[in-house]
Each structure stands twice: as structure tokens, then as C-alpha cells.
Amino acid sequence: MFNKILIANRGEIACRVIRTAHRLGIRCVAIYSEADANAMHVAMADEAVCVGPAPSKDSYLKMDTILEVAKQTGAQAIHPGYGFLSENAPFVQKCQEADIVFIGPPASAIEAMGSKSAAKRIMEEANVPLVPGYHGEDQDPALLKRHSDEMGYPVLLKATAGGGGKGMRVVWAADEFDSALDAAKREAMNGFADDTMLVEKYLTKPRHVEIQVFCDKHGNSVYLAERDCSVQRRHQKVVEEAPAPGMSDELRKAMGEAAVRAAEAIGYEGAGTVEFLLDEDGSFYFMEMNTRLQVEHPVTELITGQDLVEWQLKAASGQTLPLSQDEVQINGHAVEVRIYAEDPDNDFLPATGKLEYLRTPEENRYVRVDTGVREGDEVSIYYDPMIAKLIVWDENRDRAMQRMSQALTEYRIAGMKTNTHFLKRLIDNSAFRAAELDTGFIEKHEEDLFSGHGGSHSANPLALAALYTLLKQGQQRQAEAVHSHDTTSPWHQFNGWRLNEEPALAVRFKVGDEEKSVQVNWLNQGFRLSVDGHIVIADGKLEDDVLKASFNGHNRNAFVAELEGHITVFTDQGAFECQWLHPDLDNHEFEEEGG
Ligand code: ADP
């Protein structure tokens, strides 16, 4: 086993790898860009070296610099994580030349899977089922069209060099073929400088089911069950779970053995994932093999009780696989969601900014948080805006989903838009709970998943925000009263309002572009609030960020993050944001206008 490794990555996966390495007594060297000097992975590592400016091409992708750092620090091996250099055959070659172990497959295996059409030819020979289609070298448009006509529409055009859903076009009918081919070729040329295409039958309701495989240097290969990643948005995974709902033992065995054949056909070593499309009739077809550790590997870890990074380190250092196929057991159900800084209500526009307030669910045997950021960290424009992976395990799917729903309400972030509320709606969706899964799930259930923040959020969170503001000002006024008798304090007004017996103060907020006002009357105990025409008797206590609220005698807790009047209220309905319009603000404006 290695004594010291370098991690050629950042964020959650770098932290994830360090955790296992440290548990095994392996020292870790981190690399970082100038933007990441204070990043979590740097703080966790035993040593860290800056490899260049923020853009990845100047830092995390600098092969020679990274190898130089590995040599200087005496690292025996490099873990590439996912993304960056993880599937870069020339880098693997360079590691070999520098006599540093690449924790992953040989360069030849990466190359074999680099082209979707070449990979298909290898898989065909290895007797791995393929989606019917054409993946030959002759690229004559008329020939491609003839194959499509023969197969029948819809068909899918795919760039052989493609990835991340780019260079793909569905063709629904023969008369759309030519323009779709042009468009796909153009996108492929722009994206990958290669416009070679393949055509395959487009399955209309497939599931994405992938098999985790592992191979050592001694010819042993095993599969560690499957993951269902059917819930996707623009061909990007959003929810991943294991095992796949409804998977029979026979199908698992058939798919697992096909995946192992795929890996063996290319002389694979280490962790790999063979992706399949699973059709409604139980037929499955090879899609591609990812020659690295996948983002969603934790769900496999939770159902098998294995640490896949440990397996990677063992395999790379020449040890045999920890388990044989017969010894691989699966237990319970695991689900992962990817928490992103993005705005689901605005076409998932990536968000950036500072994580001003960050609370995560407590980790235990059911809940796991894989993250690379802490409160106060920035999500910058330079890298993937993933904040964390939230992974949950329980005895069965229903319980795991229930737990996930709860864990999502405990994941509280203020300071930027995130997808946590969208994820919760997804997890709570009845069709999702019933495991009615296929890759079109999100599109099909769009209306339920994206109803904005209006409906369920109308009165209650605003009342909570008002109660919070009143309690908070009360606290501050009390504190100030202790320290001074300064009657010019802006909070002095609260005093005035309170003494006034027919007070009807309005606490005003900006919610989106709208101004909302909550009428307040003080009672002997608590307040009477009038919110959107509803009267509630409100009372409560504020303990740090916990708002213990009582509305009409119904007690419930909410959490509140505030930054200069910008209030985020977290309830089990999600996060509600508003801006408190400070009563003095108007005066200032008035003064400015007047003066
Ligand atoms: P990429 O490498 O760009 O991610 P993939 O070949 O892995 O492309 O396909 C990505 C996604 O596209 C799959 O997860 C699936 O949802 C969809 N897809 C791919 N091939 C087909 C097909 N033949 N029929 C239907 N959907 C497909």
C-alpha cells in the first residue's frame, strides 16, 4: 500500500478521497488553484501545493506541473477523482513514464472507451448487447439516413467523441433527418473538434441503469450491483439510487456479467462503471463505460458496506480485490441527490456567491454528506457549482425516501439560490415514490416539480418572517436598553409602537419584486398578525437561528438566517426569502430626497 498520494482534484471528491486515505494511514498531498487557497480540501490535506491561477486549464489540468509536485513531495500515486484528468489517457501515460502510479485504469482502457463507436465495436465482439444502430466509419449522410429509415424513427444521432449530452439529437421523422444531422455535426465540431456520428434506435421510455465494476491487476473482476440514475435533466443525473427499483436477481446477474465482460474486453483495472439503457421490456443495452470513480458511487457503498476508494487504493497498489463475486452482498436502499448552487425556477441558471449560512443534517448511519465547502466559502464561476452530495440509507426504498425528504429540509443554505427545494419536491412526488422512473421523468412531471414559490408559501413563511423580525428587534432593543439609554437608537421606535395601545404597526417586506406588509397588534402575550387577509395569533422565542413559533396555538420550529435584513426562513416547505424594509429606511430616503 502507498504511504503518500497526491489528489489531482478539488471539492468534495478530493475531500472524500482524503478521508479514506487518512483512515488507511496514507498521507495526502493536495493541489490547488489560486482561487482555492482556503478551500476545504487544502485544509484537510497533509501538504498542499498551489499549481496555478483559477481557470482549470491553468491549474487542475496542468499535467506536467502536477507530476512535478508529485515528484517533489514524494507521492507514490495520483488519485484523479472524477472530471479534470480522470479520463485523460495522455496523463496516464505521463504518470507511467514518471514512475508514479495512476489510481485508475491503464491508458489503453481509457482510449478504448474514448470513442463511442469504437467502444461499441469492442462491446459487440465481447457479446455485450448494444442498442440497434449503425456505428461504422463510413459517414456518408445518405448511408446514415438509410440506416435510420430501416430502423424506423425515432432515432438518436450521437457524436462519437461526445459527452455530457452534447452533440446528441433525437430525430422523430425522416424529413427531419438532414437538418438534425447538420445541427448535431455542428455541435460536435464545436465541442469536440470531431463530427463523426453514430445512429441508434431512440428508446422512448428507457431507464438509465449502470453497473459498478472493479478489476484488480491479477485478473479478478466483480460487479457491485447497480445504480438507477434515470432521473435526469438534459441528460445530467439529478437523483441516483441503489438498488434499481424492481430489479430482479436474474437481471442483475445478466447485467452484472455483461458489465464484467465489457471491462475484461478492454483489460480494465480499478473502478469503472458500465452504463446501460434498460427498456420497458427488460432488454438492456450498453451505452458507455466511464473509466473512473463516479460521482454517485456512495449509493453503492451504502448498500454494499464497502469503501470504493479503499478498493481503488488497494487495486492500484497491486492487492487483490477485497471480495469475490459471491461475497458481495446488498442490503437496504440508498439514494443520493446532488445539491447545486443553481436556480431551478430560472432554467437552472448556475449561481455563485458566498455560503453565508450553511447548516447540514447530522451525519449518522443513515445520513451522509459528501462536501468540499464550509460556511463562508465561495462558490465561484471557475468550477462546477455542486455544493454537496446528500446520501441517505435505510432498510427499504420508502423509508430511504422519507429520510431523504427530511434530510433535505435540514439542509439549509442562505446566500445563494440552490436546488434543495426542487429536490425535495422531486423526492416527495408521488410518481417518484411509486418508482415510475424513466429518463423523461422531470419533463413529464414538470408542472408538479416547478410550481415556483407562490402556492404553498403564501401566508405562513411571511408570518414567520414577521414574527422573527419582531422578536429579533425586541431582543436588540432589550440589549440596547441594558447598555445605554440612547433614545435616538433606530430601535427606539419599537418601544414607541409597543406603548401605543392602538398600534397597528406594519412590518413590510419585499418578496421578489412585490412589497408585502404584515399588520401587527401587540397583545399581552405575543402578537396579532394580519397576513394576506388572515389573522393569526402569534408568539414565540428566538434562540440563535431557531425560531420557536406558535401560530394560533400550534407550535412549530423554523430556522432563520439573516444578513442585513435579507431574511431566509427555512420550513419543511423549503426556503423562503424576503427583504425586511427597515422602517428607518424610508426616513433616510425622505431626508435624501428632501435635502
Ligand atoms: P453522454 O456521453 O453525452 O453523457 P450518453 O451516451 O451517456 O451520452 O447518453 C446520455 C443520456 O442520453 C442517457 O443517460 C440517456 O438518458 C440518453 N440516451 C442515450 N442513448 C439513448 C437512446 N438510444 N435512447 C434513448 N435515450 C438515450
Residue 356: how many other CB atoms lie within 10 Å? 17
Out of 292, 403, 412, 477, pick the active-site residue.
292
pLDDT exceeds cutoff 90 at 498 = no
Q: From the CB of 206, is ligand 1 less than 6 Å away?
A: yes
Could you read off the pLDDT of 93-148 as tens digits, one per residue?
Answer: 999 999 999 999 999 999 999 889 999 999 999 999 999 999 999 999 999 999 99
The C-alpha angle with vertex 161 and arms to 110 and 242, in degrees rounded to 5, equals 60
Could you read off the pLDDT of 252-289 as tens digits, one per residue?
Answer: 999 999 999 999 999 999 999 999 999 999 999 999 99
Q: From the CA of 158, give the closest atom in ligand 1.
A: 6
Query: How large is the average pLDDT for residues 146-158?
Result: 96
C-beta contacts of 455-459 below 8 A and 24+ residues apart = 456/573, 457/573, 457/574, 457/576, 458/532, 459/531, 459/532, 459/534
Output the CA 347–ligand 1 centroid distance in Å.
21
Nearest CA to ligand 1 atom 22: 202
Could you read off the pLDDT of 199-214 as tens digits, one per residue?
Answer: 999 999 999 999 999 9
Q: From the CA of 202, give the closest atom in ligand 1.
A: 24
Residue with grid cell 436474474, as numbered in its chain: 250
Residue with grid cell 495512476, as numbered in its chain: 102
Q: From the CB of 191, is ligand 1 less than 6 Å away?
A: no
Residue 524 pLDDT: 84
User: Is residue 466 within 8 Å of 518, Cβ to Cβ?
Assistant: yes
Could you read off the pLDDT of 453-463 as tens digits, one per residue?
Answer: 444 444 489 99
Whole-angstrom distance, CA of residue 224 vs CA of residue 315? 15
Q: From the CA of 232, give the closest atom in ligand 1.
A: 16
Work out the pLDDT band at 451, boundaries 50, 70, 90.
low
DSSP string across 258-312: HHHHHHHHTT--EEEEEEEEE-TTS-EEEEEEE-S--TTHHHHHHHHT--HHHHH
Output the CA 160–ligand 1 centroid distance in Å.
12
Could you read off the pLDDT of 16-46 as tens digits, one per residue?
Answer: 999 999 999 999 999 999 999 999 999 999 9
Question: Which of 168, 226, 285 has most ligand 1 atoms within 8 Å of its beta carbon, as the pocket-test mutant?
Answer: 168
Whole-angstrom distance, CA of residue 85 vs CA of residue 43? 22
Q: From the CA of 167, give the closest atom in ligand 1.
A: 3
pLDDT exceeds cutoff 80 at 164 = no
User: Is residue 498 within 8 Å of 527, Cβ to Cβ?
Assistant: no
Nearest CA to ligand 1 atom 11: 235
pLDDT exceeds cutoff 50 at 593 = no
SS3 string, 423-453, reads: HHHHHHCHHHHCCCCCCCHHHHCHHHHCCCC
User: Is residue 506 within 8 Å of 520, Cβ to Cβ?
Assistant: yes
Whole-angstrom distance, CA of residue 149 vs CA of residue 153? 7
Q: In the annotation, is 498 catalytic?
A: no
Output the CA 287–ligand 1 centroid distance in Å.
7
Give me the percent of the chain exceeding a pLDDT of 70.
Answer: 92
Whole-angstrom distance, CA of residue 33 vs CA of residue 49? 9
Nearest CA to ligand 1 atom 6: 287
Work out the pLDDT band at 484, boundaries 50, 70, 90.
low
Residue 587 pLDDT: 40
- pLDDT, mean over the chain: 92
Q: From the CB of 90, is ligand 1 less than 6 Å away?
A: no
Question: Which of 116, 277, 291 has most ligand 1 atoms within 8 Å of its beta carbon, as the pocket-test mutant?
Answer: 277
Please choose, from the candidates 97, 83, 107, 80, the residue with its C-alpha nearest in 3D space to the C-alpha of residue 7: 80
Q: From the CB of 208, is ligand 1 less than 6 Å away?
A: yes
Residue 574 pLDDT: 84
Q: Per-residue b/e over 574-595, b at no fewer than 16 CB within 10 Å?
A: bbbbbbbbebeeeeeeeeeeee
Residue with grid cell 459517414, as numbered in its chain: 139
73 CB-near residues (< 8 Å, 6+ apart): 4, 6, 29, 47, 49
Nearest CA to ligand 1 atom 12: 235
Work out the pLDDT band at 55, boundaries 50, 70, 90.
very high
Output the CA 234–ligand 1 centroid distance in Å.
10
Work out the pLDDT band at 479, boundaries 50, 70, 90.
confident
- Percentages of the chain per state (helix, strand, coil), in multiples of 5: 35, 30, 35
Output the CA 163–ligand 1 centroid distance in Å.
9
Q: From the CA of 285, give the closest atom in ligand 1.
A: 23
Output the CA 277–ligand 1 centroid distance in Å.
8
Q: From the CB of 12, is ligand 1 less than 6 Å away?
A: no
